[in-house]
Structure 1
Amino acid sequence: MSYQKKKQMTGPKSATKSPVNFAEHYVISTVGCGGGTVCGEIADANTGNVVGSFPNAYYINGEDGTAPFAFISKPDSRLLIIIGVSADPEIGMSGEEIGQYNRQRHYEFIDNKLHLIRILEK
């Protein structure tokens, strides 16, 4: 299981040099996207092309200078777990808008898209 925080990405071509950490031939990387947040991208390790991204930006700087952001992935699984506080409101399981809160989100990666399958409140 891969448990990663604040891994910097230098661009899509870096995916061809990074070890596969998701769904058999993809590389998930994160990069700071401003305002104390991190964004994530999913790149095809074979081509280096970015094929998807995290559905939101997530805080990495809370009031105490830290926030509980992490993502969990496995090289042989299409399951992606994202833990943390979203920077923007999110859409819940029933399509409703949900506010900013520390939660665990489970996504399945199908056809280069992340599909929300479960939300756990922390």
Structure 2
Amino acid sequence: MRSLSALIATLAGLVPAVATAQTDLVDRVRACAAISSAVQRLDCFDNAARGVASASRPATDRLPGFGDLPATAGPPARNAPIVLTRQDMTFRTRLREAATRPPNFAGHYVLTTWGCGSGCLMGAVVNALDGRVTFLPATICCLPFDVEGVEPISFRADSRLLILNGVRDEAEGDLGAHYYRIEGARFVHLRDAPLPQGR
């Protein structure tokens, strides 16, 4: 009887992970379908399937690393023209300039930042495949001076992982390392952790 209860508890614990994995798969398939190159599209579908399989495994206490969230598509031969909405117009000059640069985040996004006050950064990513803009999930500020070797915003060209180090949106008590992954046109919050020790 006890073993049956343990099995039921284990299965119940897997249900949220499976539901999240299904949502992620739908988002990834949509992003892959928008890629014009057949080879890149197939690579994207393959990476999406592998990524969802690993995401459905039970979580561990290990922090996500850049290698855990590989880019699902590579850069296009040419960036798509930027698509600006009314919300984007305040920052149109910076966004238009970013759209001309080669992707530097998650395979096919151009991540750009700008100041929003003393020690504060905000920014956005421009999808080089379709020209759409997605703003970073929060402004970031207040990274302590004694944390050396840690940037307020950490990202890589070959990974979907974004780490905001500091205080998000100047919210009291929010100091830490905040982990996100990009999925199509949105950032998904993964977890928060204490700031890494400087090198």
TM-score range (shorter-chain normalised) is 0.5 to 0.7
> Is the CA contact 1:58–1:69 (under 8 Å) kept in the aligned structure 2?
no
1:99 has 2:173 as partner: yes
Task: Report deviation, 1:34.
Answer: 3.1
Task: Report deviation, 1:83.
Answer: 1.0
Task: Report deviation, 1:19.
Answer: 2.5
Task: Report deviation, 1:42.
Answer: 0.9
Find the partner of 1:85 among 167, 180, 183.
167
Task: Report deviation, 1:15.
Answer: 2.2
Q: Secondary structure of 1:13's partner?
A: helix
Unaligned runs of 5+ in 1: 2-8, 90-97
Q: Which residue of 1 aligns with 2:154?
A: 72
Structure 1 segments of 4+ aligned residues over 6 angstroms from their partners: none
> Is the CA contact 1:37–1:87 (under 8 Å) kept in the aligned structure 2?
no
Q: Which residue of 1 aligns with 2:139?
A: 57
Instruction: Give runs of aligned pairs for residues 18-57 of structure 1, distance below 5 A.
Output: 18-34=101-117, 36-50=119-133, 52-57=134-139
Cα deviation digits, residues 35-54 of structure 1 (max 9, x gap):
5421121112345442x112
Unaligned runs of 5+ in 2: 1-65, 67-91
TM-score, normalisation: structure 1: 0.66
Q: Which residue of 2 aligns with 1:110?
A: 183
Q: Secondary structure of 1:81's partner?
A: strand
The structure that is helix-richer by fraction is: 2
Cα deviation digits, residues 35-93 of structure 1 (max 9, x gap):
5421121112345442x112221225879xxxx7521212121111111122333xxxx
TM-score, normalisation: structure 2: 0.43
